[in-house]
């Protein structure tokens, strides 16, 4: 069917303007994550196979790119982000190679469940930006959250991520989804943080289930827990960002102090000292912060003797 493979470009917090590529029919996945925003997995699979002919993927994406260009829209990344797991597509590497001729950088957002497979790693090496999922270091918790295909083992996947990270020359991102009461405790966060330190990603995203999840028991972690996760990871990796409900915002400084503070504090909990420094350069003064806290737009959180300000995480409503 035409028209379902390429979508966008859409603004993406991680990738600027991203044109999405849906290279797997909905919803075939190796996981059935309790927090999945596209519902329970219809077809569980951990076996690679062809789905669409690579030529079809290429022509539909090329058509979308041409359409976007004719409308004056720029595209920063072509992103494999299907409603399923993109590495299940055995032609992924060939598709990336064909799409290279369009002269746009390529990204793959993967759950990493098949990354122990050398062929999967070879395919991912061809992308400029790869995100891998690291939700838990504990087998039982991983099973509870990600609900993997019965043939998968966490230790094998973690080993595959280590192998991939060691040899990959592009931008490596990780994403960890935190669920209240499941993997947002100190010990779980420390374990994830230590693993991340070992693979040294360029950026680690801390996510929260801001969209309606597959299972109703899934709950958002508290802002305190999100802040704690940020601090624990921040001590171990180059860059940490929160993905907690403000995907579409622009993070360019606008000159409007209030807006700029909210934009920054939705991604990075700001230390009070840094915030005071920021305000010194602007006209508003500390009263802006007091007002934002009063309106509950900004949260004041104490952690390990420091005070941080974080934008209140926002759960999206069902449209």
Residues near ligand SF4 (CB under 6 A) are: 29, 31-33, 36, 38, 41, 84-85, 111
Residue whose CB is less far from ligand SF4, 111 or 183? 111
Nearest approach, Cβ of 37 to ligand SF4 (angstroms)?
7
Nearest approach, Cβ of 133 to ligand SF4 (angstroms)?
7
Instruction: Give the angle 94-83-192 at the CA atoms, nearest 5°.
Output: 90
Instruction: Give the angle 270-203-6 at the CA atoms, nearest 5°.
Output: 115
Residue whose CB is less far from ligand SF4, 147 or 311? 147
Place of tokens 């004041």: 300
Residue whose CB is less far from ligand SF4, 80 or 308? 80
Tell me the pairing of strands 16-21 and 77-80: parallel
**Cβ neighbours of 74 (radius 10 Å):** 10
Nearest approach, Cβ of 83 to ligand SF4 (angstroms)?
6
| Tokens (6 digits) for 158 | 């973690």
Place of tokens 């305190």: 224
Nearest approach, Cβ of 84 to ligand SF4 (angstroms)?
5
Nearest approach, Cβ of 279 to ligand SF4 (angstroms)?
39
Residue whose CB is less far from ligand SF4, 142 or 309? 142
Residue whose CB is less far from ligand SF4, 218 or 237? 218
- 197: closest CA among 141, 235, 166? 235
| Tokens (6 digits) for 11 | 């603004």
Nearest approach, Cβ of 56 to ligand SF4 (angstroms)?
22
What is the C-alpha to C-alpha distance for residues 87 and 102, in angstroms, rounded to an integer? 21
Angle between helices 257-265 and 272-280 (to 10 degrees): 150
Residue whose CB is less far from ligand SF4, 38 or 62? 38
């Amino acid at each position: 069917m035409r028209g379902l493979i390429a979508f966008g470009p859409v603004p993406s917090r991680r990738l600027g303007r991203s044109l999405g590529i849906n290279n797997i029919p909905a919803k075939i996945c190796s996981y059935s994550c309790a927090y999945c925003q596209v519902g329970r997995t219809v077809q569980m699979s951990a076996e690679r196979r062809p789905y669409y002919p690579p030529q079809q993927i290429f022509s539909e994406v090329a058509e979308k790119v041409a359409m976007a260009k004719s409308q004056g829209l720029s595209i920063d990344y072509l992103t494999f982000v299907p409603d399923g797991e993109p590495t299940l597509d055995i032609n992924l590497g060939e598709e990336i190679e064909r799409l290279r001729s369009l002269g746009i950088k390529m990204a793959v957002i993967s759950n990493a469940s098949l990354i122990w497979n050398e062929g999967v790693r070879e395919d991912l090496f061809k992308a400029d930006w790869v995100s891998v999922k690291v939700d838990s270091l504990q087998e039982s918790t991983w099973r509870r959250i990600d609900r993997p295909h019965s043939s998968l083992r966490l230790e094998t996947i973690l080993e595959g991520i280590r192998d991939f990270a060691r040899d990959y020359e592009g931008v490596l991102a990780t994403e960890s989804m935190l669920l209240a009461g499941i993997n947002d405790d100190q010990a779980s966060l420390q374990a994830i943080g230590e693993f991340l330190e070992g693979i040294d990603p360029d950026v680690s995203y801390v996510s929260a289930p801001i969209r309606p999840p597959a299972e109703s028991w899934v709950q958002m972690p508290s802002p305190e827990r999100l802040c704690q996760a940020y601090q624990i990871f921040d001590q171990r990796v180059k860059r940490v960002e929160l993905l907690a409900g403000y995907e579409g915002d622009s993070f360019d400084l606008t000159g409007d102090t209030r807006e700029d503070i909210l934009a920054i504090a939705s991604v990075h909990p700001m230390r009070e000292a840094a915030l005071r420094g920021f305000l010194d350069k602007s006209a508003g003064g500390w009263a802006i912060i007091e007002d934002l806290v009063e309106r509950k737009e900004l949260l004041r959180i104490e952690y390990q003797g420091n005070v941080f300000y974080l934008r209140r995480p926002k759960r999206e409503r069902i449209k």
